[in-house]
Amino acid sequence: METNNFEQRFLDICIAPNTVKNILKNAKVSERLAELLDLGGITSADKNVGNLLYTTSTKMPETAEAHSKFLVEYIREGKIDTTDRLNAAFDFLKSATGDLDTAKFDEACGVGVTVTQEQIDEFVNKVFEENKDKIEEEKWDFQFATFIHQARDALKWADGKAIMNSINKKTTEILGEKPKGGKKKKPKKPKPSKEESKNKEEEDDFEMYKRKSISSLIGRDLKDAHNKPEILEEHNKITGGKIITRFPPEPNGFLHIGHAKAMRFNFMMAADNDGFCYLRYDDTNPEKESQEYIDSIRECVGWLGYTPKAVNFSSDYFQQLYDFAVELIKRGKAYVCHQTAKEMQEGRKEGVDSPYRNRTVEENLELFEGMRQGKFEEGECCLRMKGQMDHKNSNMRDHVAYRIKYTPHPHAGDKWCVYPTYDYTHCICDSIEHVSHSLCTLEFENRRESYYWLLDALDIFKPVVWEYSRLNISNTILSKRKIDALIKEGHVDSWRDPRLLTLEGLKRRGYTPAAINEFCDCIGVSRKGNENVVDVKLLEHFIRKDLDENAPRTYCVTDPIRVVIDNMGDDEEISNEADLFPGNPEKGKITYTLTKSIFIEEADFSEEPQAKYFGLTPEQPVRIFSGPYIKLKEVVKNEDGSLSHLVVEKVDEVEKKVKGCIHWVSEKYSINARVNLYDRLFTHENPKALGKDWMGAINPVSLIVKENARMWAHLSDIKPYDRFQFLRKGYFTVDEDSTDDLKILNCTVTLSESKDAKNLKK
């Protein structure tokens, strides 16, 4: 497929330039969108059509792709003109076989159905009137978002923005303008510097990501998603109407940068709305979980600056979960099944009932109790939820609720031999904890039906569920399974390897909580699909920005060449002060002492002249930072022809302007150090896209170790996680394996190209 005109083609369908820029970073999405344009013969379109086509390129289920041409034509003709209709089209087409029944499709997607503004306003006026007394009593504390759900139930194909505008207008009409909470007017910002402008440009590339307002978290609506008035009233009585979220990692591995995004979203969404967030371990699989992971997760949550309202475990609710399972059986909504895993898989795929599906309630209760008492072997039977085996969403086809595992639990001990599944557990735990907003990534979107079906079957509180795009970062992988494979094959040392974007790896490399949180704020959350890849350069931008402000400057020579200054005495010393933070002398100074023998970088010397080379040569002197000019006198070599050392002389003046200014350390006042230089772990932007060949993109030089580096002796008392800028090199962090005898430093991030070039030419 011809790709060189993708950018113009996407701009011609009115997709925003910044969005186009991000689309072009993902070859799969770019090719898919271009394919859709070809199918529809589309060369130009308005913004709405363009965005719907882009959404189709990222979210259309694979099982629906056979009908791509049909759907594109409906979008082009304006028959599918909203995201709601598009999602309905996806649902219909992914299970459609043979010739399409267009009449049924039109009905399922509301094609041709028009809901007028008058109808919307009429409904909004009605619900406001019904709740008039409560609104007057609670004023701005009233949960107006419930009106949105009610309106979407009653006016299925109404425009969501029109509904929200009508509700907002009516709210203002009754309560007046919302109080601003005494916020101070922001002072006028000074004109940014060139560096700040450059940083702003990098951030502006991601301007489509914004922090969401709580009222905008509205997912695909379902009939089962709404609470009965009495249940909602009881929930508000218990919670005081507060916004409650949860961060629910499974303790089967270490957290990574994607978890930092989820953490940020959940904790800040609650904090922004005067609510709170729980940390809940979804510990339903005892075979894969360990105390090591539990401890690491707790530490990382605190390291990023979050304090959960409480730390809970799904296993804390095992008895309640078991009791709910018994209640499901009593209500005819669950049964014990003796099919093998393969038989269940085939039955669910074909939509065929289990032969055990119609057991009596009494028989199921007896068998389930037998499971709890250990009367069956692992895999011999399980408890399944009685959903709908012919449902178009396979997640509704009698998922397993409980299975037998004779494995002690790291938190609950050996009390249980039946364990609930994730699909059964997480929604009930959300309800037990009265979580108001259950926020998860888009791969769980097709579980909305089963989530709400279960809570509806038990007649318990239903949170708002909203899904957002998973975070993918370029040139790395975040999959726990693939990280395990990297460790087992020796490509990385452990989960804490600084080349990985696990939180412990990032911490060890020198990333700060502030930089990670600011990165998460910048990318925000969206529903653009799980295939978008964020360039790792954006993450690097934020740690570079942080350390530029907070890391003191000094020198380190990673590939040292010994240099003897011929016209200095053996004991002669010349001291000069320099700012720890250039331009900010009040933040401290450091003394660099020049002695007869010093070290410079191997790359800063060349025996042969080179074009645009500003280092030391036989014909070209250089200046050393915080010191004099030096001019080469002699190159001393060993018997084998290798370089022994250089002999130079210091001079106060030079005939021609010297462009090169290099860093150095004194032999007398320096110590040995090991420096780890890191690069991208993968050479391919999106190794996941390579399928089974993903390991072929591993960067063979992602780590270069400099065993004989030299740094100034005043750094001999540095501690793990101290950070510095080594001039002309980058930002470095002291590794936790450092000892008094050997300091180990990790390259956190290199200098930006512009600054590096600037320093080379000083």
Cα separation, 193 vs 502, in Å, equals 33
**Which of 676, 647, 642 is closest to 556 using CA atoms?**
676
- Residue appearing with tokens 């940390």: 279
Give the pairing of strands 556-557 and 629-637: unpaired
**Which of 305, 319, 358, 316 is closest to 336 using CA atoms?**
358
Cα separation, 646 vs 640, in Å, equals 16
CB-count burial class (<10 Å; 0-12, 13-18, 19+) for 682: buried
Give the pairing of strands 276-281 and 244-247: parallel
Is the separation of the CB atoms in 557 and 538 below 8 Å? no
Count of CB atoms within 10 A of residue 129's CB? 9
Give the DSSP H or E segment for 758. Answer: helix 753-760
Is the separation of the CB atoms in 277 and 245 below 8 Å? yes
Distance of CA 740 to the CA centre of its chain: 37
250 is catalytic: yes
Dihedral angle computed from the Cα positions of residues 752, 25, 264 and 465, in that order, rounded to the nearest 10 degrees: 170
Is the separation of the CB atoms in 299 and 496 below 8 Å? no
Cα separation, 696 vs 496, in Å, equals 22
DSSP 667: S
Distance of CA 525 to the CA centre of its chain: 9
Cα separation, 424 vs 318, in Å, equals 11
372 is catalytic: no
In this structure, what token pair is assigned to residue 206? 């991601």
Provide the CB-side half-sphere exposure for 642 (13 A, CA).
5
CB-count burial class (<10 Å; 0-12, 13-18, 19+) for 189: exposed
Tell me if residue 346 falls in helix, strand or coil: helix
What lies within 8 Å, CB to CB, of 162 at 6+ separation is 117, 120
Cα separation, 660 vs 728, in Å, equals 12
Distance of CA 407 to the CA centre of its chain: 32
CA distances from residue 750 to 187, 499, 702 in whole angstroms, order as listed: 34, 14, 13
Cα separation, 300 vs 267, in Å, equals 14
What lies within 8 Å, CB to CB, of 527 at 6+ separation is 442, 467, 468, 469
Is the separation of the CB atoms in 747 and 675 below 8 Å? yes
**Which of 489, 526, 519 is closest to 501 using CA atoms?**
519
211 is catalytic: no
Cα separation, 109 vs 156, in Å, equals 10
DSSP 184: P
Catalytic residue, from 462, 470, 508, 631: name it.
470
Cα separation, 604 vs 53, in Å, equals 54
**Which of 584, 590, 576, 663 is closest to 622 using CA atoms?**
663
What values do phi and psi take at 296, rounded to 5?
Answer: -65, -45
Sign of CA dihedral 500, 250, 529, 209: negative
Catalytic residue, from 21, 139, 480, 659: name it.
480
Cα separation, 504 vs 520, in Å, equals 17
Catalytic residue, from 32, 212, 250, 386: name it.
250
> 96-117: b or e for each residue (b if 16 or more CB lie within 10 Å)?
beeeeeeeebeebbbbeeebee
Catalytic residue positions? 250, 470, 480
